[in-house]
Structure formats: structure tokens, C-alpha cells
Amino acid sequence: MKEKEKKYVEWFMRFLVWREKHISTRTFTLIMSFVVGLFTGLAAVLLKWLIHGIQHLLTSHMIDEGLNGLYFVYPIVGVFLAGVFVRYIVKDDISHGVTRILHAFSQRKSRVKPHNMYSSIVASSVTIGFGGSVGAEAPIVYTGASIGSNIGRLFRMPPNVLMLMMGCGAASAIAGIFKAPIAGILFTIEVLMVDLTATSVLPLLISSITAVTVSYLYHGTAAEFMFEQTEIFGMGRIPYVILLGIFCGFVSLYFTRVMNWIEGRFRKMGGPWHKFAFGSILLGICILLLPPLYGEGYDSILMLLAGNTDELMRGSLLYEWHDTAWAMLVFAALIVLTKVFATAATNGAGGVGGTFAPSLYVGCFAGFLFAYASNLWDFTPVLSNKNFALMGMAGVMSGVMHAPLMAIFLTVELTGSYALFLPLMITSTVSYATIRIFEKHSIYTMRLAKKGELLTHGKDKAVLTLLKVDSVIEKDFLVVHPDMSLGDMVKVISKSHRNIFPVTDNNDVLLGIVLLDDIRNIMFRPTLYNRMYVSRFMSMPPARIVIGMSMEKVMKTFDETNAWNLPVVDENDKYIGFVSKSKIFNSYRRVLVHYSQD
């Protein structure tokens, strides 16, 4: 280490000691939340600038008359460049950022690698700037969480503070990129499952406000998609709003199921180049035929919210019939159906982006499609296309993310549409209630939920998720073998302080157990010592715990068997140790105290 570096380290260590003596952890957490909000806000500004700059450079001179081959080429080039950057420079998987944050929370690590502070920005800006049909929100959330985690680690903060700093980074990311501070906080509560306590509320507020302020300084205070309500919403439209909510719920279900299905197909493919070839060609074809799928698609959202649909179909397969009502209906339906394919293909081929913006995009088109179809078939009263497009944004986002409150406030803060607060609430709530019938978990959490690694707001369930079987295994049980005599068994008992003895073969495979109570009546009869063997008086355990099993499933097994101790084995049935209820309860109380600390 160089002399300057040594001096820096010594100075920093002295600062840490001084901080611990003079600044409380709670006060320093507030200071860090401001720093996290500042840097995440700057990162959000940088990401938007890069995306828009690349898009402008590539598309400003493009001609939209008829099919344009560049819509096929650009996205493939962008996915290729992003894939090469991730595979050969970053050398780490940075996709599915929100799911990875949730996994970090569930593992109690709250640690995100330092390269995520920049790698997601670089990869997603190239992916989206070149036309990848994904959103920038998941990458910036991952970036913000990484900033929060690494700032907390720099100052040697405990795990509970690191988790809060990651939440602050995520909240400030949403707040900064959307100019939506309330939605940012609600995102951490509903999607990331961060508890809103007396300890967490102020840091989350500080981070979100700081990030929004940075965004205001660079982009002004106007809403991202400024919405001007020109058609009054009448109370007679409420039944149609409820129907829209149900429709958005089923669109959300379609989006979630198809996304998971396509991602599953990509996971089963061979090497990365096979995935790139299939995914990039699928993406290129989708965008070539339907140019509004290019990039985030915010231009199309602005057109729908402004009621300007004349240019929406320009350059698409159906543009020749753009002046006919049925062509617009088919066009909107195709967008709703194919956006999920374009999004999944972008990520599957090697691009980096999220499903946040695509859910907004699909929701806007779904709401427009609902109103347009209703008006086309002369339903009464006439429904406002732009108002219902706005409501659809909240509806599909609520269903896909399983976050109705965030969807409501994000839509309002994005558009400034406070006059439509009631129908937005109805659409969001009904959509969420609809999809919950079929899917209990959001697109981000379903994979973790299947593994039993998902934190929730329920304290009991969250603590059980934080506990791992490995941490409660006891290995001080003496092992016996089926060919041992009762006399040998008595010698083993004399050396043990346990009343259970696992029985294994020569390959350590668990064959059964011996309970002290079961042989108490014969262990003091020397005449049987050489006549009886373990194989005769051993019994089968009421159940076996397989290493890696979720603690929730372990506790369910204990309840079903009424056992107090159960053996732990690996996938090949080899004996590892025992878990006991008392050990789990002690660990549970310890984690609960730590988890609930204010």
C-alpha cells in the first residue's frame, strides 16, 4: 500500500472512531440518507440523459414512411453491446435488479456489489437508447440500492442500517427518475417490503426529497407526462371504471404469466449466443412491425394522454389503414399483446432493463383500447380515451407489481392528474383484487416466494424467512450403527448428554433413530447386551428435514408431527445433524429483536 493510501486509511479510521463517539447511529443514518438521495438523484439524471441522447442521435433523421429496417437493426446492436459489456467487462449477472434486491434482503446480506453503482446505468442506457423494449426504472433502482448499500458499508454500518440504506436508494431512484417522491416511498413499502417504522420513515423521506430536488434542478418541476384533463369525469362512468379495473387485472395476469413463460424458455436455451440470436431477432421483428415498441415508449404514452393518435401508427404494419377505426383497434390490441414479448426478448437476449415502464406502457394502451372499443360499439355514455388511458396505467401497474398504492400515486405524480384521483383508486384497487385471485405474488417476488426466500410485512413470516436451517443445526449427537450390540449402545449412551441417537450406515445415510425412552427398560439388563442389536430397537423418525428447506416449511413439519427434534439430511439422505424447536425459538427471538429494532 502506498504512503498516501496508508495515510488516507488511518485518517478514515480515526474519523470512524470520532463519529462513533460524537454522532449517534440514528443521526448519522439521516446524514447518509441525504447523501444516498443526492448521488442516486444524480445517477437518475445521468441515466435519462444517456438514454435520450443515444435515442436522439440514432432516430432524429429516421423516416417513418413505411417499414424502416433500422428499427430491426438498432435494437439488435444495442442488445449486443450491452451483452458484451456485461459478459466480458462486468462479468456478473445484473438483470432482474428488483428481484436481486429482494433476495439480498431475504439473505440478511443487504450487500450489493460496488460495480452495480455504474454497470446498470451503462448497460441499460445502451439497451434502451438503441431501442430495447424495456424500462430504465429497475436498473436505476438497482443502482440506488447499490449506492445505499456501499455508502453504509463504507461507514461500517450494522446490517439493519444497511437494509434501510438500500431502501433509501431504491426510494430515491423512483423519486428521481419519475419526479415522484411519494411513489418512491410506497415502492419500498409495497414492492421491497421495507417496514415503515419510526426509524425508517424520516430517512426514506429525506432520500426521496433530495433525489426529486436534484431532478427538478436538471429537468424542471413539470410532471413527466403532463396531463391536461379536457373531458370531465362524470360519476355515471364509475361502472365502466370498475370494468376497466377487471380488464386491467386480466391484462396484468397475461403480462405476468407470459413474461415468466418466455423467461423460462430462455433459461432452458444453450449458451448466451443462442439466447442472443433468438431474442434479438424476435425483438427486431416486433419493433420493425410495431415501431411504438421501440425503447421505453414514452412518446406513445404522451400521444395517448394528449388524445393525439393520428401519428401513433406511423411506420407500422397497419399504417396504410390508419384512418379506419378498426385498424386502430387492432393496432392497440397488438401493442398490448406483443409488448411483453419485446420486453422479455430484450432481457433474454442479453439486454438490461426492467418491467416497470412496460407495465405503464401496456396499461396506457389497455385503458385506451377499453374506451376506444366501447365507443366504437356505441356504448353509452361516451368514454374519454385519454382519461381511460391514464387509468389503465395505474390499473396494470397495480396488478403487475401488486402495489396498488404506489400505482395510484405514481400515476398522479407522473401526470399531475389529481382531479382523477377517485377513478384511479377504483381502477388500481379492482385490478389488484382481480389478479390476486390468480397470482398471490408480483412479477418480482414470485420466484423468491417459491423458494421460501421472500420477506413480507408480517413479522412472524419475515423472521422465519430470515432464519436459515443451516444456522440452527445441532451436531453434538453421537451416531450409532445398526450392527452395534445393546452393550455397545450403553457405552455410547454413557458418553452422551442427548437422548436421541441417529442410526447411519457406513456411507452416513440416515437409517433411523434410537430414542433413550424406547430402550430404558432393557438397557440395565446385561444378559441382553450381546443378544440385541440396534437394528432391532431403532425406529424411523417422524419426518426428515432436508438441508436448504425454508424455515416456514420446517415449522410446518414440526407442527404436523408434534416432534421436538428432527434429523437433518442432504439431498442424498446423508445425515447432517438435528434441529430442535427450542433452538429455533431462541434464534427466532434473537432475530425478531434485531428485526424490530427502532
Residues 335-355: what's their mean pLDDT?
Answer: 91
| 124: nearest Cα among 284, 343, 290 | 343
Residues 102-110: what's their mean pLDDT?
Answer: 65
* pLDDT, position 107: 59
* pLDDT, position 539: 86
Cα gap 411→415, rounded to integer Å: 6
Residues 334-350: what's their mean pLDDT?
Answer: 92
C-alpha cell at 138: 429497475
pLDDT higher than threshold 90 for residue 462 = no
Q: Is 187 exposed, middle or buried (0-12, 13-18, 19+ CB in 10 A)?
A: buried
Residues 495-499: what's their mean pLDDT?
Answer: 86
Cα gap 544→560, rounded to integer Å: 12
* pLDDT, position 532: 86
CATH class of 3-219: mainly alpha
In Å, the largest CA–CA distance within the chain is 102
- With contact defined as beta carbons under 8 Å apart, do 102 and 27 qualify? no
Place of cell 384521483: 421
Cα gap 314→323, rounded to integer Å: 11
* pLDDT, position 335: 93
pLDDT higher than threshold 50 for residue 92 = yes
**413-422 pLDDT per residue, tens:** 998 888 889 9
Cα gap 108→465, rounded to integer Å: 10
C-alpha cell at 367: 385503458
Question: What percent of the chain stands above pLDDT 70?
Answer: 89
Q: Which residue has better confidence, 43 or 564?
A: 43
**552-576 pLDDT per residue, tens:** 778 788 788 888 888 999 888 899 8
HSE-up of residue 319 (Cα within 13 Å, Cβ side): 18
Q: CA separation (Å) from 7 to 3, 156, 236?
A: 6, 19, 72
Same fold flag, 3-219 and 461-595: no
Give the lowest-confidence range in 33-47, 85-99, 118-132.
85-99
Greatest mean pLDDT among 107-111, 217-221, 325-329, 516-520: 217-221
Residues 331-352: what's their mean pLDDT?
Answer: 92
pLDDT higher than threshold 50 for residue 11 = yes
pLDDT higher than threshold 60 for residue 360 = yes
pLDDT higher than threshold 60 for residue 212 = yes
Residues 232-245: what's their mean pLDDT?
Answer: 88
Say which residues have a Cβ less than 8 Å from residue 491's Cβ, sequence separation at least 6.
none
Q: Taking the mean position of all CA atoms in its chain, how far away is CA 60?
A: 35
Question: Around Cβ 165, how many Cβ atoms within 10 Å?
Answer: 29
pLDDT band at 458 (very low <50, low <70, confident <90, very high): very low
Greatest mean pLDDT among 4-13, 67-76, 392-401: 392-401
C-alpha cell at 222: 413539470
- With contact defined as beta carbons under 8 Å apart, do 182 and 173 qualify? no
Give the lowest-confidence range in 202-216, 318-332, 386-400.
318-332
Question: What percent of the chain stands above pLDDT 90?
Answer: 37
pLDDT higher than threshold 70 for residue 63 = no
Give the lowest-confidence range in 315-324, 454-463, 574-583.
454-463
pLDDT band at 363 (very low <50, low <70, confident <90, very high): very high
End-to-end CA distance of the chain: 40
What are the residues facing 509 on neighbouring strands? Answer: 574
Homologous superfamily of 461-595: CBS-domain (3.10.580.10)
**137-187 pLDDT per residue, tens:** 889 999 999 999 999 888 888 877 888 899 899 999 999 999 999 999 998
12-36 in b/e form (b: 16+ CB < 10 A) is eeeeeeebeeeeeeeebbeebbbbb
What are the residues facing 529 on neighbouring strands? Answer: none
* pLDDT, position 168: 93
- With contact defined as beta carbons under 8 Å apart, do 539 and 513 qualify? yes
Cα gap 368→391, rounded to integer Å: 9
Domain segments of the chain as ranges: 3-219, 235-456, 461-595
pLDDT higher than threshold 90 for residue 77 = yes
* pLDDT, position 162: 85
Give the lowest-confidence range in 121-135, 318-332, 337-351, 454-468.
454-468
* pLDDT, position 457: 44
CA-only gyration radius of the chain, Å = 29
Question: What does pLDDT average to over the chain?
Answer: 85
Q: Which secondary-structure segment (H or E) carries 149?
A: helix 137-154
Q: Which amino acid is at 3?
A: E
**370-411 pLDDT per residue, tens:** 999 988 876 667 888 899 999 999 999 999 998 899 999 999
Q: Taking the mean position of all CA atoms in its chain, how far away is CA 185?
A: 15
pLDDT band at 1 (very low <50, low <70, confident <90, very high): low
pLDDT higher than threshold 70 for residue 465 = no
Q: CA separation (Å) from 466 to 103, 137, 191, 473?
A: 11, 27, 18, 15
* pLDDT, position 99: 72
pTM, two decimal places: 0.78
Q: Is 349 exposed, middle or buried (0-12, 13-18, 19+ CB in 10 A)?
A: buried
Q: CA separation (Å) from 198 to 26, 511, 548, 597?
A: 11, 52, 34, 10
Homologous superfamily of 235-456: Clc chloride channel (1.10.3080.10)
- With contact defined as beta carbons under 8 Å apart, do 452 and 552 qualify? yes
pLDDT band at 590 (very low <50, low <70, confident <90, very high): low
* pLDDT, position 59: 84
C-alpha cell at 14: 480515526
At 539 the three-state DSSP class reads strand
Q: Which secondary-structure segment (H or E) carries 63?
A: none
pLDDT higher than threshold 50 for residue 459 = no
Q: Which secondary-structure segment (H or E) carries 257?
A: helix 238-267
